[in-house]
Amino acid sequence: MAVLILLVVSGLLLNHGDRLGLDRIYVRSPWLLDWYGIHAPNEPRGAALGAHWVSEVGGRIYFDGQELSGARGRLSGAIVLGYTIVVAAEDNIWLLTPAGAVIEQLGTLQGMPGGLHALGVDRNGRLVVEAAQGFYTADSELLKWRRVIPQAVSWARLTEVPPALRAELVRQYRGRGLSVERVLADVHGGRVLGEIGMWLVDLTAIACLGLALSGLWLWARHGRKD
């Protein structure tokens, strides 16, 4: 009976999943995340910018403990350039306010060199990047890029993040890895308990079918007697 109730409830919720936004609601329970084997794929590494950190876990970029919306890729580095924080990851650069709000995203479509490996500031205060095809610097608006021979560049360095921040980043990452919709789908199909759960669902379905057929047989039998 309990399995049947779970099947009915999960089926009803899944049927209205789009309206309820179940694919956008995420599970936070540590034991359930452990059950699904959802862990951070790599140790968080980041760049210290004064009292703040820009970090990356599994291709997601974070400012302190807050994920930067739309920022994806392997972190190459982060620096402070004037009143702007510059974050580089693969083929993109994000410009942030000192509080971590995204101002703008620049990519190869805006003329930026692709395949960023590192970034830094030279002795004249200009941004310098190491890209797939060499070293480049940009104008003050980061719109025009030209190749250079790097000299006296202070490169951004990625290091291990503090333990408290690491714990928060791992929690944030795991908390976006399992949607309620997926859990309900697994409950409905019995997959949440592995092969045993699938057999329970199958047996419940067979039992319901047997009850329906026996009910029809009894109804037909009594109908003939009448």
132-176 confidence digits (pLDDT tens): 889 999 887 787 889 988 888 999 999 999 999 998 898 888 877
Q: What is the pLDDT of residue 172?
A: 80
Q: Please give the class, per CATH, of domain 45-174.
A: mainly beta
Residue 49 pLDDT exceeds 60: yes
Q: Where exactly are the structural domains of the chain?
A: 2-25+179-214, 45-174
Chain-wide mean pLDDT for the chain?
Answer: 78
Residue 46 pLDDT exceeds 70: yes
Residue 97 pLDDT exceeds 70: yes
- How far, CA to CA in Å, does 103 sit from each of 27, 92, 95, 110? 30, 13, 5, 15
State the Rg of the chain over Cα. 27
Q: What is the pLDDT of residue 86?
A: 95
Q: Which residue has the higher pLDDT, 82 or 37?
A: 82
Q: Using pLDDT thresholds of 50, 70 and 90, give the confidence band for residue 19.
A: low
Q: What is the pLDDT of residue 2?
A: 53
Residue 212 pLDDT exceeds 60: no
Residue 1 pLDDT exceeds 60: no
How much of the chain exceeds pLDDT 70, in percent?
Answer: 63
Type of residue numbered 140: S
Cα end-to-end distance, the chain, whole Å = 33
Q: What is the pLDDT of residue 5?
A: 55
Q: What is the mean pLDDT of residues 85-89?
A: 94
Q: Using pLDDT thresholds of 50, 70 and 90, give the confidence band for residue 216.
A: low
Q: What is the pLDDT of residue 53?
A: 96
Q: What is the pLDDT of residue 140?
A: 77
Pairwise CA distance, residues 171 & 34, whole Å:
12
Q: What is the pLDDT of residue 101?
A: 93
Q: What is the pLDDT of residue 41?
A: 72
Q: Using pLDDT thresholds of 50, 70 and 90, give the confidence band for residue 45.
A: very high
Strand 84-89's sheet: what is its strand order? 75-81, 84-89, 92-96, 102-107
Least trusted range by pLDDT, from 85-89, 173-177, 200-204 = 200-204
